[in-house]
Structure 1
Amino acid sequence: MTKELGKRELNKARKRAEIVAIATHSFLENGYAATSMSAIADELGGSKTTLWSHFSSKEELFIAVVDDRVDCFGKDMEAALEDNRFSASNLRKICIAVLQKLIEENSRRLFALVLAEGSRFPEIVEAFYTRGPSRLRSDMRDYFASHFDQRDAEELSRVVRAALLGFRSDAIIRPIMPTKAEIEAFVDVLLSRLGLDKIAPIEA
């Protein structure tokens, strides 16, 4: 019975992941307004009840898509970290990884979708901000707080985050995406200007 239940839960998780993958493509390709639950159900195949058993609304499905993108982002950030304590080399690695993720095609398209349709659908702005930028703000503040006092950690987090998001905004309107060398050069200048490039880590 336990084995059968485990198999059932695994199949359910696989079907949910399949739905999210289809919805991600639809939202990014067609936009929020032009994406319908019926069209997603048709592409999924089988009974429409299957889709509705996983997601009760388009908003809930969009939130799942954003959560999936944020989870991918988080895994990349974990890979960029040797540990979560501040060091100049560690911060450089994090900033480069964040920028590379922010200018990925799907990240750019999701951001553009929220900008384009957020005024008509404020719920997607809230879902995106809560699960994306807000989490980045919190994680970056906590990271700086491993070395600086709370006030400095908050200010450094705000300035660094604003610089990274500004770079992303500039990249979106450029005809050619920045190269890795350009990203690294930008991060080096940013950390140098803030005086963060020479701060020694606190010994454990």
Structure 2
Amino acid sequence: MPIQDLQRLRLAFEQLSEIAPLIKHATYAKDVNKYFDKNGLGEKGLFFLNGAWWAYQEQQKKIDAAIEYLYQPSNENNDVKIDNARFVLENGCIEDEQLMKPNEYVKQYGVDTFRLALSCSMNKKKYIIVYDDELDFTDVVKPRHGKFVFPRKDVERIVQAWDVVGQYKSLDEARKQGQGLVFSGRDGDAHRILNAVATYESCL
């Protein structure tokens, strides 16, 4: 991780409510990326602080990897990989201009179209087809089928991320909540929130 990014990450880490009281008793050594006892932190406190700092960095790596994966270009075999979904294009039947990733679509047009598509609760087709003024749903994509084609799984993931982040006052608040849960041992909830934050950020 670049030094500037690591410094920003460390400053955010030191502002966590569980960490801030410990920082005044410790000093940070950037050459080894560790904390050392300054005045009375003690062995257990120092062990906790460095362990928490390591876990915080590892969690950020997962977030960075998720964002990078969302932005990676389509490969030469006409496979579009978005997060954990794999959308295999059959026989080259989809035009190149239809291959916009869901997060790129939200950047340009917002999330409302995806919400509308998922509100059609009776329709569980694999793909959501977006035209200029209407939606369609299918399990088999045909040539020139709509303006954009999105796997339902990825549309659901983005809308769910919007809903999770929307439970908090801001994106930063959602991130802090997720990071705080890491130190509370609630890994499942932490990963759910932090993954939602990563997905949300990829759409900005």
TM range (shorter): under 0.3
Q: TM-score, normalised by structure 1?
A: 0.26
Question: Which one has a larger percent helix, Structure 1 or Structure 2?
Answer: 1
User: Who wins on radius of gyration, i.e. which is larger?
Assistant: 2
Q: TM-score, normalised by structure 2?
A: 0.26
Structure possessing the higher relative contact order (Cα contacts under 8 Å, 6 or more residues apart): 1
